[in-house]
Structure 1
Amino acid sequence: MSNRNQINYCLDKNQIHIDYTTLTPRFSVTNNESLNDGIVHLNEHGYAIFSDVMLQDEININKDLLWNFFENIPGHHIQRHDPTTWSKNWPGNGSFGIINDCGIGQSDFMWNVRSNRNIKRVYSQIWNTNELLVSFDG
């Protein structure tokens, strides 16, 4: 990355080219101006990253809820403190990190995330309404 105009790509595990030289802005949900700037960025670029969505204790609660979900999937035998149980037993599509089975959509984890006040705030801004519906996927 010696030349600033040169784009350096790296291949990820799926052989997809990733450009790590492009800076991606973050938009805080706790600041109205930043949140609005994020919506503008989303409309112009097709994506936006919102920060400050959860407090650390909320993050920890959601991590525990997700691990509780994994550890209680029948027949998968996943244990959070034993990484040797993860690869072979992991649900969903391991190549892309998408879990669409085992009841993830109705899990306590997903409902806790869906009902987070800041996540609702972002989607209310995006859709310009407080009357939101959620999907049942994970």
Structure 2
Amino acid sequence: MPHAIIPNVDEKYGDWRDELFQDGFAVVKGAVPADRAAGYVEEMTKWLERFPLGFDRNDPSTWTEEHLPANMKGGMYHGYAVAHEKFVWDARMEPGVVDAFAKIWGTDELLVSFDGINMTLPLPDSTRPKSARWPHQDQDSRIRGFGCAQGIINLADNGPEDGGLMVMKGSHRFNDEFFKTHSMDKKEKWGKVPDDWHGFDDDEIEWFEERGCELMKVNAKAGDLLVWDSRTVHYNILPTGKQTRAVIYACYTPAALATPEGLAKKKEIFENRDRTTHWPHRNFWRADKILRFGKEDPYHRDRPFEEPVITDRLLKLAGAMSY
């Protein structure tokens, strides 16, 4: 396929891309076969069991913070080199997933983010934390236009009560207008991420609502791929039902967008089995060490439990080999 061009968001494609460019998000049905999706859920469960913290998949009383490795927002795992576990790389390289992003960008010469996973376990009502809104976009407020396509590889059926992705439908189309009248400065930062994250206050969410943008929950089946424009306002919510949420975050952009210096840095990050932001081709930084209950975790890991199988395709997606 040819090198990427920025997609023409006004063109009609006759598939889910029309929803992506019009609404700011879309669901790609059946990107991963159902049996393989179930296999990834099993691998995620085994990953939690590898830590000697007492987690037992068959005992809900152990599905709590003291029995789990460090996470945020109810079940988002970014530390312990999880971004480079074999099962995570296997999911990133699923043909249906890579092909979807190739259709967005018009090229299969892609880079992928070194992102984490989310396994949010349903808790008894008495111990279930309340879900707080944290609406944000994962694009630098100074960058105009479509710049990054984000993705969630959804591995378990995900309905209205199962927690998951909330999006502000159509908010990406008002991004330019918003930042003409609102400050581009961040009110808070997510860790040390210097750019490509901007949070929104409740009154700013009302600004989008006044222009017809609607907050809505994205539901999907096991094996579906959720894709969205990084300018789309979004956040995750916790489950209120009994279904486990299991997803792998994976974002792809064309390798042609990366600078030689950026590729060198990405290769170094890969070789160190470190993580990145959602942006695969830019904004690399040295990630903080994950803390557990405010202290350095004695079970901190610099390498995955199971290394990925190294292939040319993987190295190219990692930015460690040229296309």
With structure 1 as the length reference, what TM-score do the two structures score? 0.65
One-letter identity of the residue aligned with 1:93: M
RMSD: 1.9
Equivalent runs, 1:81-120 vs 2, <5 Å: 81-88=58-65, 89-90=67-68, 91-95=70-74, 97-120=75-98
> Compared with structure 1, are the counterparts of its residues 105 and 36 closer, same or farther at alpha carbon in structure 2 (3 Å cutoff)?
farther
What are structure 2's unaligned runs of at least 5 residues? Answer: 1-12, 117-323
Aligned amino acid, residue 87 of structure 1: T
Shift of the 128–81 alpha-carbon distance from structure 1 to 2, 3 Å rule, reads same
Cα separation, partners in 2 of 1:78 and 1:108, compared to 1, 3 Å: farther
CA contact (8 A) 1:65 1:108 kept: no
More strand by share: 2
What secondary structure does 1:133 align onto? strand
- C-alpha distance in 2 between matches for 1:111 and 1:76: 25
Question: Would you say 1:51 and 2:48 are equivalent positions?
Answer: no
Larger relative helix fraction: 1
Percentage of pairs with the same residue: 25
Report the counterpart of residue 71 of structure 1 in structure 2: 49
Q: C-alpha displacement at 1:121, in angstroms? A: 0.9
Residue 100 of structure 2 is aligned to residue 125 of structure 1 = no
What amino acid is the match of 1:56?
A
Q: Displacement of 1:76 after TM fit?
A: 3.4
Q: Given residue 71 of structure 2, which amino acid in structure 1 is its aligned partner? A: G
Q: Does the 8 Å contact 1:71/1:78 carry over to 2?
A: yes
| Aligned AA (2:111) | L
Single out whichever of 35-44 and 120-129 deviates more from structure 2. 35-44
Deviations 1:80-114 (A, max 9, x none): 2222211223331144x422112221112211210
Q: Of the two structures, which has the highest relative contact order with CA contacts closer than 8 Å and spacing of 6 or more?
A: 2
Establish whether residue 40 from structure 1 lines up as the match of residue 36 from structure 2: no
1:24 maps to which residue? Answer: none
Structure 1 residue 64 displacement after superposition: 1.2
In structure 1, runs of 5+ residues without a counterpart are 1-34
Q: How many positions carry a matched residue from both structures?
A: 102
Q: Which amino acid aligns with 2:36?
A: E
